[in-house]
A and B are shown apart, each in its own frame.
Chain A
């Protein structure tokens, strides 16, 4: 103990470590009525770190060459010790990252935490959501299986519906008229360098905004649930009577991470093929289109929307409008009330939108 104390003292006299701990950990107070949904951000940080680690490990054996990519993934799965575990952790982790991100965004939505002055928190979070979708889409092609090849063909093809520049955009995205070796090179660079760097930078911005505005108070169990910020000047939302982040809420965060890990490993060990169809085990064949190629579950609603509209452009436009509306929600919704039960119209719209998204996804899956 003396050694530990001496070590802490050594750092303290140099960088004021105790002051940092007092300010950012033990003295960082959170609202007393904080709930488990506030742990979603910590779980997401954990998942992102896991994805980085497993992704780096996969890079050791993966070969981003159209002739070798599928073989290298098969080699990882069948020959490299625990390669199956690393690859499944990466594949399952990417899906659960989207799921937990959706939970995080829905909790912010229903607790109305996106309202001013937290517009930037919402906006960076929303951009992060689209980037996570982008990193999932680009990663999907890398195994160069029939599933990844044709799912990418369908996904990139939809961009062609944009008037005038659409066909050129598709070609630019693919690096050629069709999905082929140049597409693999482009998607590999996007998946491994460009998008992760962007995600890292945006996570930094997101946490910076959180640090500057302070943690929002949940509207539940409060007498006054209206937004108190008037926009007259900068204010940090402090919680003088709150609970310390460390050790109280940090333990809750760790507990939530372990619950997530239990679910995650449950899928990895007991349902490893949950995310793979038989096309995922066949090498890409540009001359043989498999039947009923479907995108990942989180793109099924988009896929079905494109199908139900008579023109692909209309389908894209509707999705573009919906996404823009959601991205700009804090700027559109100016009602100061934050309790969801005191906002029946908002609840109907939010729940209706969520059910519509789930319904379109289920329809897309069975169509």
Chain B
């Protein structure tokens, strides 16, 4: 085999090796950068009933996102996603008017999560919960 033939062979081998190394390195780097799965984190959150007085709201982390628990006047409880359905901002509880306001673009929701006014296209998502022995379990 002449020199140029050997050089081409070496070049092909090294090129192949470089491609293999790049491919082998891509997966670890992708896995390193990929967002961590939240599926394995506890999907249930427990909050004592006494932490949510009448007319108040309690915000908490639920499966990696924000959620809120509201006790309406009269004692009714409701658990909602606190992520605004418009652009994903976190809604704020307005105690005086007993409703939610999204400060980003002025979206208004009722205490039940229904849209009152502003740009939100749909209601806040409701979360399942149970109350037992003074503990509210969401999820």
- Partner-B contacts on A (CB < 8 A): 57, 60, 80-83, 85-86, 247-248, 251, 254-255, 258, 261
| Cross-chain pairs A/B with CB under 8 angstroms, 11 sampled | A57-B32, A80-B36, A81-B28, A81-B31, A82-B32, A86-B28, A247-B11, A254-B14, A258-B14, A258-B17, A261-B21
Interface flags for B60-73 (1: CB within 8 Å of A; 0: not) read 00000000000000
- The tally of residues in B whose CB lies under 8 Å from a CB in A reads 14
CA distance A247 to B17 in the complex (A): 17
Contacts of B36 in A (CB 8 A): 80
Asked if B28 and A82 sit within 8 Å, CB to CB, the answer is: yes
- Output the least CB separation between B60 and chain A (Å): 23
Number of inter-chain CB pairs below 8 Å: 35
Contacts A254-B14, A254-B18, A258-B17 given: A247-B31 contact, CB under 8 Å?
Answer: no
Contacts of A57 in B (CB 8 A): 29, 32-33
Contacts of B34 in A (CB 8 A): 81
> Is B10 among interface residues, defined by CB-CB distance under 8 A?
yes
Interface flags for B9-20 (1: CB within 8 Å of A; 0: not) read 011001001100
Asked if A83 and B32 sit within 8 Å, CB to CB, the answer is: yes
Asked if B7 and A251 sit within 8 Å, CB to CB, the answer is: yes
CA distance A57 to B21 in the complex (A): 18
Contacts of B21 in A (CB 8 A): 261
- Output the least CB separation between A181 and chain B (Å): 28
Query: Which residue of A is nearest B21, CB measured?
Result: A261
Asked if A82 and B29 sit within 8 Å, CB to CB, the answer is: yes
Asked if B31 and A82 sit within 8 Å, CB to CB, the answer is: yes
Asked if A81 and B14 sit within 8 Å, CB to CB, the answer is: no
Asked if B32 and A80 sit within 8 Å, CB to CB, the answer is: yes
Asked if B10 and A251 sit within 8 Å, CB to CB, the answer is: yes
CA distance A261 to B20 in the complex (A): 13
Asked if B14 and A255 sit within 8 Å, CB to CB, the answer is: yes
- Output the least CB separation between A364 and chain B (Å): 36
Asked if B28 and A251 sit within 8 Å, CB to CB, the answer is: no
- Output the least CB separation between B5 and chain A (Å): 13
Asked if B14 and A247 sit within 8 Å, CB to CB, the answer is: no
